[in-house]
Amino acid sequence: MGADGGPLGETAYDAEWADAVRHALRCAGAFLAMLLVVDASAEASSWARTAVWVGLALVVLVILVPVRVTAGAGWVSVRGVLGERVVRTDRLVAVRWAEGVAGRVVLRDAEGGRVELDPRVLVANPQLWRLVDEGARASRAGTLRCGTAELRRLGERVDGETARAVFRVSGLE
């Protein structure tokens, strides 16, 4: 096992995660600056109020920081502010879509592991999707009880977006 908790070998990361964290920091900083400017213009500034505004900006930051998705041969990890969850993609028992404002893919493995991730992360990172899909293919042959249609739908979405990106880059759009 590697230092990240997964088996040694190839590892893929969400390439857009660092940009998303920087964006979250900028939003929380702008929110804090706005609160402090409004407080100062109302001549109501105090250390206690500033501490409350800083706390509120930290809450906004925690809400906006995205989870970091990492995958390797047979596993996927989702690390958030409150901890990390790992699921064995080569031992999946269920894959389903969690509907809502932001659709999520929910993966469950035979050991009881469960992760939720945004399918846009997999669409934006084909290498990440490839590792998840390789593990899921092994699960289809054995442990996967439900979710093959969801995996197929996700694979089609990733393949379609990858093809569009290739056409865009080559000027064939």
Question: What confidence score (pLDDT) does residue 149 get?
Answer: 85
Total Cβ atoms within 10 A of residue 86: 20
Q: In tens digits, what is the pLDDT along the chain, a chain of 173 residues?
A: 444 444 557 899 999 999 999 999 999 999 999 999 999 998 888 899 999 999 999 999 999 999 999 999 999 999 988 899 999 999 999 998 887 777 788 999 999 999 999 888 988 898 999 999 999 988 888 888 888 888 888 888 888 888 888 888 888 76
Nearest-angstrom CA–CA distance, 69 and 128: 8
**Which residue intervals of the chain bear CATH 2.30.29?**
69-167
Tell me if 147 sits within 8 A of 92, measured CB to CB.
yes
- At 105, give phi and psi (nearest 5°): -100, 130
Q: Which CATH architecture has domain 69-167?
A: Roll (2.30)
- Could you give the dihedral angle defined by the CA atoms of residues 25, 27, 29 and 33, in that order, rounded to the nearest 10 degrees? 180
| DSSP label of 55 | H
Length of the chain: 173
**pTM flag (> 0.85):** no
